[in-house]
A and B are shown apart, each in its own frame.
Chain A
Amino acid sequence: MTGPLTPPAAEVRTVLDERAGDAQRKARRAWWLRVGIAVAGFIVLVIVINAFTNGHFLTIGNVSNVLRQITFTCVSAVGETFVIITGGIDLSVGSIMGLAGVVMGLFANAVPLDNGPLLFIATMIVGIAVGAAAGYVNAVPVVRLNLPPFITTLAMLQIARGLAFILAHGQPIPLATTAFNGLGTGELFGQIPYAVVLMLVVVVVFAIVLTRTRFGRYTFALGGNEEAARLAGINTRRTKTLVYVISGALAAVAGLILLARFGSAAPQTGLGYELNVIAAVVVGGTSLTGGRGSIVGTFFGALLIGVLDNVMNLLNIESYTQQIVLGAVILLAVIVDELRKRLLAR
């Protein structure tokens, strides 16, 4: 037996380092290949669509419109992706959008702050705190009592919505401030809506969190095999709590985008949006059984759904048919993913 525990000799180490470097480069190349395929697919799709819509699709106005349409779904779907990778589900995101929006509206109208960025930032912090708190409440029974997240977040879906209506007295709350106009209608360089910039920042930051940090790794481990993760010394309770907190917080950010866009906080905002959010995650290739998924995939999932919506509008397809097409696309995406998995699994 060559002692496997003795440190390898220098020349062996060089070989090993090279091998490690190779593996790393290969992994990186595989990643870029996947992203490349997705992007290339999208470009082809866009060109085809553009031809179909007689060039109405690929105008700066329309593209920025599509991106603007997906901002809130996409931002919330980023948080939902974390939850689903752990094998859970968060049904309460739509209601949290509404509740956080109402709280933010009341707060912005009540505090004696100038109309400037200070008010905007303070409001955002309050909203995120509300969302994070709702996420924390979602997580506690899941973590402490092992209750299914389907149930706890279903309860939160009702509770948060009810709270939103009570706080708003059932009426929309018009914003008395203009501090949100930038996020609502403003555009960076006069081209890119600030909401889209915010969405891209969220996507990039959380893609890094998921793929590059210990927390991200533990999120995958939790969804892949919770007991193995626990026995490896991972604080599974903290990791699990954190994913629901992130999901709640990002749902609140989505609520902020909606608030800014409409200039008022309506208690019914986000009603039923949880299904769009989950659809974006699933179309993006994240497995509902946990252990597998990506933020970049979720972004493309949200984008695909947004593009479809937009194209069907451009083609004057009536909204009932649109629903059928969207349902079919979700199903198709999952089927394709399943076939791909089977192909890979020999």
Chain B
Amino acid sequence: MALLTMTGIVKSFPGVKALDGVSFSVERGEVHALVGENGAGKSTLMKILAGAYIADAGTIAVDDRPVTIDGPRAAEALGIGMIYQEFNLVPDLGIVENIMLGIEPLRGGLLDRKAAQADAARVLAQLGNALPLDRPARRLSVAQQQMVEIAKCLVRKARLIVMDEPTAALSDRETDALFALIAMLKAQGVAFVYISHRLEELPRIADRITVIRDGKAIETRPLAELPQDEMIRLMVGRSLDAHFPELPPVAPGAPVVLAVDGLRAATNVNGVSFAVHAGEIVGLAGLVGAGRTEIVRAIAGADVPTAGEVSIDGRRARIRDPHSGIAAGVAFITEDRKAQGLVLGMSVRANTTLAHLNAYSVGPFVDRRAEHAIAAREIAELRVRTPSGEQLVRNLSGGNQQKVVLAKWLIGEARVFLFDEPTRGVDVGAKAEIYGLMVALLARGAAIVMVSSELPEVLGMSHRVLVVRDGAIRAEFARAEATSEKIIAVATGVAA
């Protein structure tokens, strides 16, 4: 008897058939991974389950009884909990208040704090009592916030918890802790639907895997019967012969393009020195919070450096703000495209030229003709899937949004490209295209610094790997000698 059965689910949005007859089931105490490219329909399916959308057709059964889920409350009553990638916590409320939000026990019409604390304490004990109860949600780490979300589900007696990209912002150690937690809850009979782009972590956690493509469930198989390369082939509908393109070797005697010497900033950058040559990719590895993003932000002028020097092509660059960074030849592709990379309410065209509008202007006026032309060119070359340059960036999928961010920097003449998590939340196909683009930049003689939390990406796309801990570089590995084990040892402070 299945815990959940969704049959023939159809959901259309104007112009798009997001789900085209998807059937999907979850057993009790099972971790069922849901994989697919961005826009394949995973999120839509889960939003229907959570009551955020209503399906156009199809049936849902819980414990083999047909049910109607017409809103979040209905889903909650059926024991379905949903943890979105962006958490739904009230930043200024405490942990107990967040856990009990909307289901506060009352006594005589007033809040019954004692009962609330008792209820929360019960589930928190189940989760190992690892949370600092005196802090408001805003001061919790991402992993701690996630634990509060799990507690919210448990206190509502969830028997099925949907997690959307739960490890996207977690360090490796936090990921381990999360997986241990999932395993423990699973042993208590809680089932999970686990959505992830990180295919390599699925063997550690999933029992079965369902591949979604173009709004259809393509395949459901036990983990052991679905090797990773076949999973990828099913996801994209074609086989990607390799994850990563071949990196052309750095030419012997290639000049240093970016030289960083003794860089410090108040944001956890504590004396960083390194150099990147023309045609070279240097990967910055480390745990979340180690200071990798802060290093590239200080180089780009996004944060103000307090000491140290940055030189580009041998010339001292005085970078105090993003403007002077761009003028010096630095392109900074931020990790959070929605918060930092794009103006979502503006068109693809306007976002493309935003950082280089001077070059597409006559006097104070924007040269519309030139702007339309460059936008059309970038859309074609980067294969941005959009009806036209006038489409608002808000309406594009994650991978296509990321391509617009790239277009914004590619149309300039930057010598140094700082990529911060360039493929986060991007589907497999777009990933390969972004990697290809980085290789093409190398041919242009650019220098690339790439921050990535995905070790395979660091290993596959770097000529050299620098490991960051506590805001400083603790080790350097050439491509040939870098391994996951060595990097993790340094990043966690086990070695050097």
Contact = CB atoms under 8 A, between A and B. Distances in A.
Interface in A205-234: 212-218, 220-221, 224-225, 227-234
B106 interface: no
- Among A24, A233, A234, the most chain B Cβ lie within 10 Å of the Cβ of A233
A5 B440 contact: yes
Interface string B314-336: 00000001110111000010100
Interface stretch (A14-22, A243-251, A320-328): A14-22
B13 A233 contact: no
A16 B439 contact: no
Given A228-B340, A230-B322, A212 B365 contact: yes
A8 B345 contact: no
A227 B340 contact: yes
Contacts of A232: 322, 326, 354-355, 408
A45 B382 CA distance: 47
Contacts of A23: 349, 372, 375-376, 388-390
Interface of B is mostly: helix
A217 B340 contact: no
Interface in B338-370: 339-346, 349-350, 354-355, 357-358, 361, 364-366, 368-369
Nearest to A12: B380
B340 A26 contact: no
Most A C-beta atoms less than 10 A away, residue of B334, B344, B380, B439: B380
A346 interface: yes
B366 A212 contact: yes
B366 A213 contact: yes
B121 interface: no
A99 B346 CA distance: 37
Contacts of B390: 23, 26-27, 30
A22 B372 CA distance: 9
B111 interface: no
A4 interface: yes
A19 B394 CA distance: 22
Given A20-B376, A228-B342, A232-B354, A346 B14 contact: yes
A44 interface: no
A225 B355 CA distance: 13
A224 B350 CA distance: 12
B326 A233 contact: yes
Interface in A330-346: 345-346
A145 interface: no
B441 interface: yes
A51 to B, nearest CB: 38
B437 interface: yes
B247 interface: no
Contacts of B350: 217, 220-221
A215 B368 contact: no
B174 to A, nearest CB: 26
A3 interface: yes
Contact of A235 (B323, B325, B332, B342): B323
A225 B364 CA distance: 22
B364 A214 contact: yes
A291 interface: yes
Nearest to A13: B377
Given A5-B410, A214-B366, A220-B343, A19 B354 contact: no
A110 interface: no
Given A8-B381, A30-B390, A233 B355 contact: yes
Nearest to A209: B364
A164 to B, nearest CB: 34
A224 B345 contact: yes
B354 A221 contact: yes
A10 interface: no
B376 A16 contact: yes
Given A5-B440, A231-B340, A24 B372 contact: yes
A345 B395 CA distance: 8
A240 interface: no
Contacts of A215: 364
A4 B437 contact: yes
Contacts of B341: 228, 231
Nearest to A212: B365
B132 interface: no
A68 interface: no
A5 B441 contact: yes
A1 interface: yes
A292 interface: yes
A291 B358 contact: no
B289 interface: no
B343 A291 contact: yes
B373 interface: yes
A199 B394 CA distance: 35
Contact of B381 (A4, A214, A216, A234): A4
14 contacts: A1-B436, A3-B443, A5-B440, A5-B444, A17-B376, A24-B369, A214-B366, A217-B350, A218-B357, A221-B343, A221-B346, A228-B342, A233-B322, A291-B346
Given A1-B245, A231-B334, 6 more contacts: A1-B433, A3-B440, A224-B343, A224-B345, A231-B341, A346-B13
Interface of B: 13-15, 245, 300, 302, 321-323, 325-327, 332, 334, 339-346, 349-350, 354-355, 357-358, 361, 364-366, 368-369, 372-373, 375-377, 380-382, 388-390, 394-395, 408, 410, 433, 436-437, 439-441, 443-444
Question: Which 5 A-B pairs have CB atoms at the shortest separation, nearest pair first?
Answer: A1-B436, A224-B343, A20-B376, A232-B355, A20-B372
